[in-house]
Structure 1
Amino acid sequence: MDPQRPIPERYKAGVVSNNGPDYQLTVVDVPVPRPGNVIHYMLEDLPLRRMRDYGVRSPGHEGAGIVVALGSAVTGWKVGDRAGIAPTWDTCMSCELCSSDLECHCARAMPTGLMVSGTYQQYIVSPARYTTRIPHGVDDFSAGPIMCSGSTMFRALRESNLCAGQWAVIMGAGGRVGHMGVQIAKAMGLRVIGIDAGEDKEAFCLKFGYEAFIDHQKSTNLSQDVRNITDGKGTHGVLVTASSAAAYRVAPRMLRVGGVVVCVGMPASGTAFAGDDPMYLILNNLKVVGSLTGSRQDTAGALSLAARGLLKPTYESFSIRELPNAVSQLRQGKVRGRCVVDFNV
């Protein structure tokens, strides 16, 4: 898009037509930026969201585009800059969490697409202080998915405290998050085992650099399979990106002494338990940690890997007119990697 093109008074957005997963296209007013805000013309990665009681009609929590307007108090940005929006729209920037790289957990954090209108629209306002600069060498189709999925896996691997040369298992290896996780893990020097199901997932995973792949539908003992690959000792870390109770049940048993389970995938509340018998955890010095999404630092780190050619999301692109169809295909599991909606076409 030409950033100098006049901004229209009305534009297209994907909105929720009910409290379920259905979307429709509509025309809404272009927002006016406040003093500290910028307006982006968007290209949006399409995660699947169910809008419940938040009252926000346009969901979407990650995307990339071009700055087309600035608030009167904005400095450091100019029209034409490439920018991204992350799942966290803004925070207080003054509490203990915001000062310690945990701003996503700020009590006043505002999730994009939940507490404020999201990125399923051609134009969106974001606070200049929480807007991410997209580096040269990273196209918008890659930057959009990295704003959430890439940043999330970058953060999860940081939370694991794993070191180069150590083993990491990614459960949900061929998923929208997992396929980016292996690329980031390899860039950090880790040896990565993927766990997923099906020959198509195996082929998909191995091309991204997994050192080994285990089909959990064929395995009769996942923990033993992992130990067989890791000299009988187990893996140093397991990153659970799958949203299944079964994945969380088996994860601790794959670990060697001193290992860590990082919880990324979110099963429905009350349906899964992350952990094990306390005696087993104590005797093996095991750790279980949660990891929500990336901070601004994590997002910048993931984008830096992409700029160096070390992280490349797989995606299918759709035009804005195809948004309802894109959501339908995503719900049916027909999209490999990420689903990106291009609001330029």
Structure 2
Amino acid sequence: MEVPSECWAAVVQKNEGPNFFLEVEKVPVPIIGLSLTAPQDFRLLITTLAGPSEVLIKLNVTGLCLTDVHFMMNDWAFPKMSEMGLSCAGHEGAGVIVKIGEAVKSCKVGQRAAYGPIHSTCGLCEYCFSGKETYCQQAVYTGGTVDGTYKQYCTVPEGFVHLIPEGVSDYVAGPAMCSAGTMYSSLKESGLRAGNWAVFPGGGGGTGIQGVQLACAMGIRPVVVDTGESRRSLSLSLGAECFVDFLAEADPVKKVVEITNGGAHGVFVSAVQAYQVSLDYLGSRVGGVGTLSSSRKDIAEILDLAKRGETVTWVIGYRLTTGAHCSATGKIHLEPAVVGLSKFNEAVQRLKEGNVAGRIVVDFNLP
């Protein structure tokens, strides 16, 4: 396939921080299999040269995730994007393989593929060997420590290319890379059983709503804590047993504890604003589980939870296969809002302000 020298990208470079905005502009396409026959710009090579075991994917879509917003706001426990030499966030890409390195064996040009939150890991530690590569101390994070899917052409190590199953659209595969995988992994690791109560603070958003659906498929009873009629309607239509509006309810924690007969068995937090109060939803439940999908600097103290045998874990999406399979077989329904390149910044700002119910994706092929 013909590969251009430049592609579109939504760039945050000189304006990162609380008031960041994105500019859609042309950037160099990463190079695979470059042969040096003439003097080259060294800085350009460092930012665009890919190795022989990498694959070049032309993305058709990228999902938008609140994690992207926090990377661009610089309020997570990571170095600033500019300090890492990054300009593009994003970790939910789906498209087609257009070029492969000479050492690549398992991927072919023309195959549909997706690119998720984990760019690479060491592949040698106990976590990598046990299927928990997100805990690898050498993990490289897409859009966090390497440029992400806000750029139309991305290079991905062969072992972290996710081939898209038949029957799953790019609009589904992109978001499934992060949110469906994160929620599935969280629920699986929690040890919750059928009939247990699970609370999803921010459950009407793009990540939480997939947790609600997966919980239903596992026989777990989901309660969503969120606000707004659109999120209430979405949550209840996709399986939430109860919706607690934290703005309308005088004491949301008390209400949740009442609904769950003393406290939830598990709390699955994807909404940053809810971290400080979310574990209160466990009530007096002994052995409750709280799962956080964040590295924010101001997460509440959690050590005292050991007094009740409670467990707090941090999870970010694993592999695509489970989330995409659930989508293909109808266990979860992903019908994201779709916007074109010209609406990139507007869509991300809506996400930042909490004005998105469900998922939203940007189609690189739409104006």
> Same fold, TM exceeding 0.5?
yes
Q: Does 1:38 align with 2:68?
A: no
Distance (Å, rounded) in 2 between the aligned partners of 1:343 and 1:286: 47
CA distance in 2: counterparts of 1:340 and 1:125, whole angstroms: 20
* 2:324 matched residue in structure 1: 303
CA contact (8 A) 2:336 2:361 kept: yes
Aligned residues: 331
Q: 1:242 to 1:325 in 2, by over 3 A?
A: closer
- Report Cα offsets for 1:36-82 as digits up to 9, x if no partner: 11111101112224134211122212211111111111112111111
Task: State whether structure 2 residue 293 is matched by structure 1 residue 264.
Answer: yes
C-alpha deviation, 1:242, in angstroms: 2.3
Contact 1:240-1:247 within 8 A present in 2 as well: no
Structure 2 counterpart of 1:10, from 6, 26, 29 = 6
Change over 3 Å in CA distance of 1:223–1:56 after alignment to 2: closer
Q: 1:322 to 1:223 in 2, by over 3 A?
A: closer
Deviation at 1:327, TM superposition (A): 2.3
Q: Which runs of 4+ in 1 moved over 4 A?
A: none
RMSD over aligned Cα, in angstroms? 2.1
Pairwise CA distance, 1:171: 1.3
The answer as to whether partners of 1:240 and 1:251 remain within 8 angstroms in 2 is no
Indicate the residue corresponding to 2:312 in structure 1: 289
For 2:251 and 2:351, the matched residues in 1 are separated by: 31
What secondary structure does 2:214 align onto? Answer: helix
State whether residues 138 and 303 of structure 1, in contact with CA within 8 Å, keep that contact through their aligned partners in structure 2.
yes
Contact 2:57 2:154 survives alignment (8 Å)? yes
Structure 1 counterpart SS, 2:203:
coil
TM superposition shift of 1:319:
1.4
* Percent of aligned pairs sharing the same letter: 37
CA distance, structure 2, for counterparts of residue 27 and residue 224 of structure 1? 52
- Once residues 247 and 204 of structure 1 are traced to their aligned partners in structure 2, the CA distance between those partners, rounded to angstroms, is 23
Inter-partner Cα distance in structure 2 for 1:115 and 1:8: 25
Shift in Å, 1:265? 5.0
One-letter amino acid of the structure 2 residue matched with residue 248 of structure 1: S
CA distance change for structure 1 residues 265 and 94 in 2, over 3 Å: closer, same or farther?
closer
State TM-score, norm by structure 2. 0.84
Tell me how far 1:104 sits from its aligned partner.
Answer: 1.4
* Change in 2 beyond 3 A, CA 1:158/1:18: same
Gaps of 5+ in 2: 33-50, 73-80
Which sits farther off after the overlay, 178-187 or 18-27? 18-27
Tell me what 2:247 maps to.
217
CA contact (8 A) 1:249 1:275 kept: no
1:78 — aligned with what? 108
Match of 1:207 in 2: 237
1:162 and 1:125 mapped to 2: Cα distance? 37
Cα shift at 1:246: 4.0
SS in 2 for 1:174: coil
Question: Counterparts of 1:154-233 in structure 2 under 5 Å?
Answer: 154-230=184-260, 232-233=261-262
| Runs of at least 5 residues in structure 1 that lack an aligned partner in the other structure | none
> Given residue 55 of structure 2, which amino acid in structure 1 is its aligned partner?
V
